[in-house]
Structure 1
């Protein structure tokens, strides 16, 4: 990516002049700006954000299935408990949540060394009425998955995936968010009033993402994008 930005210097000459004019007087601001340009293009490009949307949708689906299956398992555990107590038959399955925790920690040496002794003391000190049943334990997992709120783990991914479809706008939105994140008002190195012109931003997008001719961003594209974002944020 760096080689591409250097090789296409003629195409980026105007953008480089603008960036230098606006940032050269600020300590390390030029380096910070280029670092954010490169990292955004490397990790928040349209292809990666397309994959991120797929992962987000899969996470939603996985939690939906957990909600259903954990609820069903809770019902079955509750039914099994009733059969053990009233049918005249019983099995040697776990009936205490602490039994499950201890058995599941069998191959965790840290549990045995640091937690096990204190855990067993509590286990034997307090009988079943002080602990959730296996059915209640599973129902909590079901409710937890049902009530989830999916959020991006960082502001750039949040910005890049706000639209429903992947496009070069993902990069632009993330790059603008990265510039804001690196501004002096957020304790960064970039001036808080930094605004890259539409022409310069279009050139940076085209070269950083190595867009094909039919995909090139224009100054008008950037202008319209910014206008839509202002309208969206004002709602």
Structure 2
């Protein structure tokens, strides 16, 4: 019978696994995405744990062309980019970028002061060191090995250099001071919604991955230009079992339906403040 729960269960598992096997074969034949294939291997090896989640996926997505495939493809790639360890690394990168901008601001400001003092000494002391004094001279030296510059830009730049004397150009110290000011006012932000979501909380943890998951769902939704319908909702238990598998979490770190529910409630509370 069409509504036989056993047959429906078996059909859902077979359909989901067929997509996973096709992805695995595609990657293997081309020698690409070995990390993704490791995720697929885990999923294919834990059918008993994932069967109910597959059934939910199939029931909600099989009537939407390619939506089930889109979801599974997103799911197996998600830990490649946003495992908890990679979320920690992303936070470290963000902190380093903030620190580097501060260092650039400080060092560039110091350099600007030195350049200004050098120019003053060369104009008033009776000594010279035959160093650069024009920003375009620095630019030409910096582009010495860039053949695109020499072929397409250098002649026009030389013409401007000859057309306008030094008073029309910033001094070297002005130029470097602008770099200092730019670094000082820099604001570090995520380049995409998934990165923003996965690094949003102050402390790293599995909540990072859940935020990345929900952000990816939004990105792959019909409203976001994808294929997953707005009505799609996995149960907390199904989501926990899928994420436990793709992340290969040990027994002491497993997500549960209750922990996923607490996360969702916490996110709603946080957004409403």
Q: Using the alignment, how far apart are the partners of 2:100 and 2:150 within structure 1?
A: 32
Which of the numbers 109, 119, 127 marks the counterpart of 2:147? 109
Match of 2:116 in 1: 78
Which of the numbers 185, 198, 202 marks the counterpart of 2:236? 198
CA RMSD of aligned residues (A): 0.9
Match of 2:222 in 1: 184
Count of aligned pairs between the two proteins: 235
Deviation at 1:194, TM superposition (A): 1.4
Q: Using the alignment, how far apart are the partners of 2:125 and 2:243 within structure 1?
A: 70
Match of 2:7 in 1: none
Deviation at 1:87, TM superposition (A): 1.3
Match of 1:119 in 2: 157
Match of 2:130 in 1: 92
Other structure's SS at 1:14 match: helix
Match of 1:60 in 2: 98
Deviations, residues 148-171 of structure 1 (Å, cap 9, x unaligned): 111112211111011122211111
Q: Using the alignment, how far apart are the partners of 1:113 and 1:78 within structure 2?
A: 33
Q: Using the alignment, how far apart are the partners of 1:32 and 1:83 within structure 2?
A: 67
Match of 1:167 in 2: 205
Q: Using the alignment, how far apart are the partners of 2:120 and 2:100 within structure 1?
A: 30
Normalising to structure 1: TM-score of the pair?
0.98
Q: Using the alignment, how far apart are the partners of 1:195 and 1:77 within structure 2?
A: 62
Other structure's SS at 2:232 match: coil
1:22 lines up with 2:60 in the alignment: yes
Q: Using the alignment, how far apart are the partners of 1:40 and 1:220 within structure 2?
A: 22
Which of the numbers 172, 191, 216 marks the counterpart of 1:134? 172
Q: Using the alignment, how far apart are the partners of 2:153 and 2:272 within structure 1?
A: 52
Q: Using the alignment, how far apart are the partners of 1:143 and 1:196 within structure 2?
A: 48
Match of 2:269 in 1: 231
Structure 1 gaps, min length 5: none
Structure 2 gaps, min length 5: 1-38
Match of 1:151 in 2: 189
Q: Using the alignment, how far apart are the partners of 2:167 and 2:84 within structure 1?
A: 54
Deviations, residues 130-161 of structure 1 (Å, cap 9, x unaligned): 11110010011001111111111221111101
Match of 1:38 in 2: 76
Normalising to structure 2: TM-score of the pair?
0.84
Q: Using the alignment, how far apart are the partners of 2:237 and 2:96 within structure 1?
A: 38
Match of 1:208 in 2: 246
Runs (4+) of structure 1 moved beyond 4 Å? Answer: none
Other structure's SS at 2:131 match: coil
Match of 2:12 in 1: none
The structure showing larger relative contact order (alpha-carbon pairs under 8 Å, at least 6 residues apart) is 1
